[in-house]
Structure 1
Amino acid sequence: MIEKIAAISAITLSTLLLGAISIQAQPSPQNEISTGIELNRAKNLARMAVERENGGLGNYRAEASMHGLANQAPYVENSEGSWTFTFKGRRPMSSIYNIESVVTVDQNGTVTIDSNGPIRQ
């Protein structure tokens, strides 16, 4: 009986220790949430800047990836913490994308339209 209790205690202790180790190895959920919110804000700022630049929603629509989940948007994270989005757009009634935009958004929300014109080859 004592051996059974000792075995169960050892298994329980091992499970708790391994759980604690794996929790410590994971990134902070708060940091992930914060980064996700910042990235989503940057995506929206980039899209809205290009919408304005191209005459508003009556004249321009960004590709679907700029309306969905931020981590699925076409972006790169730059070394200083800004994000650069490269995406296509079209006229509202067209199915053909003919505008390519490259927009950089820094952590403070400053938006720079790096390019906005015909799709490059």
Structure 2
Amino acid sequence: MPLIRIKTFSAALFAAGCLLTGCAQISAPEARGNTSIPKAEQDTRTPSEHAVLAKHFEEAAKEMQAKADIQKSLLKRYEEKHYLYDRVPHDLEAHTSALIRKYEQAAKTCAEEAIYHRKKASESAELK
């Protein structure tokens, strides 16, 4: 009997940890990776500055997509081994799905920003 209680306690502890670590919401500047970026975007004038911002947004998009991929693997585990999590898997699945959508949207936004800054860099370079 104690072994079953240990397994149940371990599963509950793991589920609680997953919920707590995944609860952090990301804002738009955080999705870009740095809260000082909006100010930098306003002050951007040269092609090299646009190129630097484009590179930053590309890296941020990769990071957000990597986080989404991690959440996808967790979701797959929750779906395959739902019996390990007692009643919690539905909550975990819903929360993880929401995180996947949030990270993928952040990755898409960052990729769009990178494309915008690459375009502005090439346009600025052509004007000179």
Q: Which has the higher contact order (CA 8 A, sep 6+)?
A: 2
- Decide which structure has greater strand share: 1
TM-score normalized by structure 1?
A: 0.32
- Decide which structure has greater helix share: 2
TM-score normalized by structure 2?
A: 0.30
Higher Rg of the two aligned structures: 1
